[in-house]
Structure 1
Amino acid sequence: MAPPDLPSFGKKYLRLFADYQGPTTLRSCPLTLAAQREENIEMKRVTLTFDNGPTPGVTEAVLSILERNGLRGTFFMIGEKVSAPGGVALMHEVHRAGHWVANHTLTHSVALGDRPDAGYAVREIDEAQWRIAACATPAKLFRPYGNDGLLGPHLLSRAATAHLLRGRYTTILWNSVPGDWRDPDGWVERCVSQVRAQDWAVVVLHDIETGCLAGLPDLLRRLADEGVTFTQDFPDSVVLTRDGHPVSLDPAFIADAPTSHDITR
């Protein structure tokens, strides 16, 4: 079966995406901006996200660290882990603490761009959404499986993209993957370097056994020393779709994206 075509406004956006320029400056009060100009200091924002949970024994410890620091983030949860023993209770604990509960596919097994059939995409997206529905805030926040945090055409298929648009999902990517799960000794320093390199870092951490837990207090101290502003929001540059409308949707993230000829004909 051929993958479903993109909605008309999605086609129009894909024709125009090459001209898109994401936000490069951040707003603040006039006095703060004046001080920054005088001292040549560039203000930084950081959004913390936690993938691949919930994990009993880990997620609640991450929540405690965030609470001590007065921080809120987004937890992109795997549907099957929510349904595992202890998962639902942890999801509710995350939600009660003021964090956003979001969708990170049902199985986190095969990237959507590597399985172009519509049935797979719909199941991975919607079944996970159903399992987190009681706590999903804001509604329908979705992050595709990146396969080691990579960005590329493996992230989405045309079928998945069309479903996200029609289902009014908000699709979130990332721009900082320090590798907490594979480099326990070096990921904190790498994260600080990635934050320094951009105006607004959307950091991918993991609330899993081999994830960020041990180094998270050190990271938060380091970032506080850097003078960053923590926020729960996301810059447009990592938002592919918002409430079913294209924002930074790019064919480079769609494995079987239509060609320019397909889009314009």
Structure 2
Amino acid sequence: MRRESAVQGDIVGLPRVAEADQVAPKDARELSKLFFDRLQSLEEGSPDHLYARNTLIEMNLSLVHYVAGRFRNRGNGQLEDIVQVGTVGLIKAIDRFDVNRGFEFVSFAVPSILGEIKRHFRDTSWAVHVPRRLKELRAELVRSRERLFAVLGREPTVHELADDLAVTEEQVLEVIVAANGYAAGSLDAQHGGSEDGTTHRDNRSLADVMGEPDPAIEVFENVHALAPLLARLDERERRIIELRFGQEMTQADIGAAMGISQMHVSRLLSKTLARLRRGLLAHE
């Protein structure tokens, strides 16, 4: 909207700005100077002060949208949320701006808006709660890793990162572990991958496959349940079970090793396995 149609009359020595959020950026800069000059002499909390302050906020919302646009593809939150956070930064900038210092409001407001948005991402982007000191050190670690990679031509070691950041190796390792909590995968993501290392996609999500029973769990449960049953067998019975299933010997070889016939081994083995089977069924 052109300035001629945005300005309608005067109030407390200021032009009455209709639809202040539609004022062109160039016009907003000029009008902001006028409003800031007048704002200093108005009593805080008075209707005139509130009008001037609210108009400044609305006229400079384009700065918020400009800065927020840089974070459009961050993937954390909607753009509307980022704009709201940036608006908080704009309001803080308006309340703190000192016209007597002689610089443009834009040069003061943009870093304030940017800082507020960055704090928002630092405090809310992590998938799990991580102490702030680790979040801040993670940002330094990322820059250090990039810097050392450019110099060394390879990934830096933990020791090299610790030296570069002037921290201990334990602190570097703590940050690396904590960084795993920065982002969480979605359970709605498509399931992919195969045993030969290639990738494929199907129609199932991670949530569909994460609940599938582990085929090895039944073996584990059976072995766990067998332990006390095996302890009740006599020494010869345990020896036959060990040779047959532990060493995978044939019944004939077991008979030869124990000095008994294959037929005797077969009867003892059948009798022992039946007892173990009954014990497992009773356990269930």
Query: TM-score, with normalisation over the residues of structure 1?
Result: 0.19
Which protein has the larger Cα radius of gyration, Structure 1 or Structure 2? 2
More helix by share: 2
Q: Taking CA–CA contacts closer than 8 Å with sequence separation of 6 or more, which of the two structures ends up with the larger relative contact order? A: 1
Please report the TM-score for the alignment, with normalisation by the length of structure 2: 0.18
